[in-house]
Structure 1
Amino acid sequence: MRGFEGRIFEEFSPGYYGICTAGGMLSAGATHLAVTPLDVLKVNMQVNPIKYNGMASGLSVLWREQGPSSLWRGWSGKLFGYGIQGGCKFGLYEYFKKLYSDLLVDHNRSVIFFLSSASAQVFADVALCPFEAVKVRVQTQPSFAKGLVEGIPKLYRTEGISGFYRGILPLWGRNLPFSMVMRPVLLVP
């Protein structure tokens, strides 16, 4: 695999895992950052469906009542949280693919891809969860904090470590099935 500056990395080498991780961080962080206004609207529609009852009207209410910057509230949680999640998901997927291929020699490749996806997603969501917890509070409670730098210590002070992981089970419930099905489907020739 070619990395930055045209360097070639042998598959399953530390450099290879690093390139996979960096690619996952860049792609996931950038794409999630780009859709931040839609995420802000979605979260507010979930919290207050009467006030935010549609896309156009919801965006209009946010813009009118809280200003255009309100549409980017929680951007740092999206960029860094999903960047870290993407890095873990892409890098660890390759790691687990090698590990399970070595352990489960006689098994179908789809089983290996399935297990690799699930394992990587578990760790990726553990990495994401603290960022997501702060992001949701920043997006739905404008007085909570301006972003991660202010929100992380405030959440820790008020709820402790458990406050960062309160949403881990629903996150796994959402992400694990998708990851386990999509990754093998996309990779099997």
Structure 2
Amino acid sequence: MSDLKTTVPLYSPAYFGYSFLGGIISCSTTHSAITCLDLIKTRAQVATHTTTPLSISKLFKQVDGLKLLYTGGLTTFIGYGLQGFGKYGFYELFKYKYSSLFPKDFNQTYVYLLSSASAEFIADILLCPLEAVKIKQQTFVKSNTEFLNYQKKHLPMIATFKDLFKQGKLYTGIVPLWFRQIPYTMVKFTTFEKIVEFIYEKLDLKKQEMNKLQQASVSFVSGFFAGTMCAIVSNPADVMVSKLNSPLEDPAAKSVIKTTSERLTYEYGKIGFRGLWLGLPTRVVMISCLTSMQWLIYDSFKIVVGLPTTGGH
């Protein structure tokens, strides 16, 4: 028999409250932990063809190497904590609301897609200002050689936030962010839910008969494969978000580019379709590991507080 006991009533205020809290914990810890990979990916996305590749070995040989690798780490922790609050908490809320609106025989896959899209729309509004700050912190020093020798303190989070606020640039990337994150989250949550359903269907044990470790393992495996899929789907938009939030150096372009759409057209003209896949290998590794750990932390938290794990119910 299962040693898993759910003590919090389903869809009660406590159920949703814990879901919001679990989202904060899972996203803030995982995203900040892999800031180093995100830094490498982001700098690769905004690099020019003449940019010398970032030397990871040199970073580890210098005193401030680890600090440089985690540039924007605190911003990431706060920003993605806010995003996790919206992403996971509102997903649970919207899934419950939409399920009650539609007939019982309605295809649940559409509920997953609609719920995740709605939740991510809100989550990105919370994330966008901090994402802009983080990217500026990570890409302000354009040359990788200069970055490796950068001894000054990197742009502090609060000062950078104030600077972008004055310039009206905190939400410059909101539309590309929606284009990146909404398909990403739709694939992430729907694929996860479907893989969980598939695993439970193929196992001899029913979900309620599995112990804590078994249920958490299902979440981890499902999260890994869901992460691989959503990394691929969202990479083009991720590249454009990085481009939009990095400094525009061409003086001629600065004088004529006035809108976000003009900047997008300009950046795409420089990199083309192939350039939309910059940083993909790093992103696949990063997002697969990230997503699997997020679901593991999120569902483990739910188990600890007396909630059922996500999916299969």
Give the shorter-chain TM-score range: 0.7 to 0.9
Output the TM-score relative to the length of structure 1: 0.83
Question: Which region of structure 1 is more displaced relative to structure 2, 167-176 or 63-72?
Answer: 63-72
Aligned residues: 178
> Quick one: which amino acid aligns to residue 180 of structure 1?
M
Distance in 1 separating the partners of 2:83 and 2:29: 12
Identity of aligned residues (%): 36
Which of 168, 175, 181 lines up with 1:175 in the alignment?
A: 181
CA drift of 1:117 comes to 0.6
1:103 and 2:106 matched: no
**Which whole-Å deviations, capped at 9, do the CAs of 1:130-172 have from their partners, x for residues lacking one?**
0000000111115896332222112111x22xx1111112222
Q: What residue number does 2:56 align with? A: 59
Higher relative contact order (CA 8 A, sep 6+): 2
The correspondence of residues 15-94 of structure 1 with structure 2, limited to 5 A, is 15-49=14-48, 50-53=50-53, 57-60=54-57, 67-68=64-65, 69-94=67-92
Distance in 1 separating the partners of 2:61 and 2:120: 38
> Quick one: which amino acid aligns to residue 79 of structure 2?
G
Distance in 2 separating the partners of 1:148 and 1:10: 40
Distance in 1 separating the partners of 2:57 and 2:173: 29
The correspondence of residues 109-188 of structure 1 with structure 2, limited to 5 A, is 109-141=108-140, 146-157=155-166, 159-160=167-168, 163-188=169-194
> Quick one: which amino acid aligns to residue 90 of structure 2?
L
CA drift of 1:185 comes to 2.6
> Quick one: which amino acid aligns to residue 180 of structure 2?
R
Q: Which structure has the bigger radius of gyration?
A: 2
Distance in 2 separating the partners of 1:121 and 1:58: 35
CA drift of 1:26 comes to 0.9
Contact 1:44 1:52 in 2 (8 A): no
CA distance 1:66–1:153, shift in 2 (3 Å)? farther
CA distance 1:66–1:20, shift in 2 (3 Å)? same
Please provide the CA RMSD for this pair.
2.5
Distance in 2 separating the partners of 1:140 and 1:178: 23
> Quick one: which amino acid aligns to residue 58 of structure 1?
S
SS class of match (1:146): coil
CA drift of 1:39 comes to 1.3
Output the TM-score relative to the length of structure 2: 0.52
Distance in 2 separating the partners of 1:58 and 1:44: 12
5+ long unaligned stretches in structure 1: 1-5
Distance in 2 separating the partners of 1:121 and 1:187: 16
5+ long unaligned stretches in structure 2: 142-151, 198-313
> Quick one: which amino acid aligns to residue 17 of structure 1?
F
> Quick one: which amino acid aligns to residue 25 of structure 2?
L
Distance in 2 separating the partners of 1:146 and 1:14: 40
Segments ≥4 residues shifted beyond 4 Å: 60-66, 142-145
Please state which structure has a larger fraction of its residues in helix. 1
